[in-house]
Structure formats: C-alpha cells, structure tokens
Structure 1
C-alpha cells in the first residue's frame, strides 16, 4: 500500500469512493435534508482539495486501486478521511491520519467528525470541543487534537 498525493485525474475515483463510503456510514445518520445537503455540497466540494496551496491531500493505493482519501486544509483542519469498506479495520485510516499529522507543525488540528467516526478520532487523541451539532441536517461533533 502506498500513500501518494492526489492529482486532478484522481477526482472522479475519489468522489466515487467518498460516495460509496458515505452511503453506508454517513448518510443513514443524517436527516433527509442532511442527505440532500451532503450530496449537493459535500461531494462537489471535493474538488477544492486539489488546491495545493491550501490542502495536503493524499490517497492510499494498492495495485492501482484507490483504498483511501484524506485532506488537511491550511495545516490545521482535517476536512476528509475516508477508507473503502474493503480496507476498513486494517489500519489504513491510522496511516493516513499519521501521514497528515506528520506533514504539519500546527499545535492544534481540528475537525468536524461524522457521528460514526468519533471513536476513531478519540483513539488518536482528539477530544470533543462541543456537543453534537447539525448544519442543514448534517450531524457532526466538533473535535480537536492539541499537540505539545
């Protein structure tokens, strides 16, 4: 398995991966309004992660197959971390998160965790910074990791 920076040619495969994972893990936890908002805003927004001045965006690949995708904005905000269902539970999310955390000197990294991923982030030292919230029906928990 290799972790590589994404390119514009990866966008369609990344969108397909995010949609496939989201349909099973994220969207069932959203209101109908949240599901529509997610499809209308979150998926098209993946293209913004191609901006190399603001994002460190990586993919995990094995035998030319996309297994994971993650993005860190401005060195201190984790915007995405998705692992294909076939690859979940194998440590791939851990590896991608470690890669992004090691790529920045920021003392605090924040994120809005989907409800299903809160435990994953807690295992990596992230703590909730507020209660579960929703924006246009999309549920999340604000979290951050403070490093010394």
Structure 2
C-alpha cells in the first residue's frame, strides 16, 4: 500500500471518497476517503480524527504558528547553509540537508537556526544602533 502525504501532488491513484463519512472536526475543509483519511483542501492527508485534524489546522492553516514562521516567505529570502553554498526555501529543508551527508549533523539545532535565519537582524547591537540613529534624526527634525 502506498502512503500518500499530499493528494494534490501524488502520481498514484487516490482512494475513493466515502459518501457517508464526514470530517471529525468542525473546522476541517476537505473530504474523507474510504480508508478513513481526511483529504484536506490544502492537499495534506490526515487521519480523520478530531485531534489529528486540530493539530493539522493549528500547524498548517494558522499563519502565526511556529511551523509557518519557518516556511518559505514571499519576499524571496532563503535559508543558507553555513558550511556550503546551498540555499533552501525553508528551515525544515535546511535542517534535512544539514543532517545528511556531508554534514551529518546530529543534536540540538537551535544554534544552526540562529546562525542561518534570514529574518534575524545581523545583531541586536546593529538593530539598537539603527533605532538610535532614527531617534536622533527625528529629534533633529523636530528642533
């Protein structure tokens, strides 16, 4: 049996829709297959269980979730590997790259994330200095 993770992208035959089944969560938008999976409108395949659907909705459909904050942004910024010239569309792709050969990274990834985050200012000192300059310019305009 083939496991389908995204029903919109698969090349395999999709399971049939179960006309008698409904999603187990009121916020779910999609259809239930004969094998008991919810085919979400976003393409994800989730077990038709209230907890699983709730977790999916919180993670994927909530724009302010921690997961969404690591995903590709429309401004084109990318996550760069600190050890080679590869660039990745999101944090999870960078981490997967870094755990594979030739890096073979294991353990806590928070340091890697802090080092590679394209949305992090260069340093808090630079940010504070920029804010100071902006206040100084504003003060000079007022007086």
TM range (shorter): under 0.3
Judging by fraction of residues, say which structure has more strand. Answer: 1
| Larger Rg over CA atoms | 2
TM-score of the superposed pair, with normalisation by structure 1: 0.24
RCO greater where, 1 or 2, for CA within 8 Å and sep 6 or more? 1
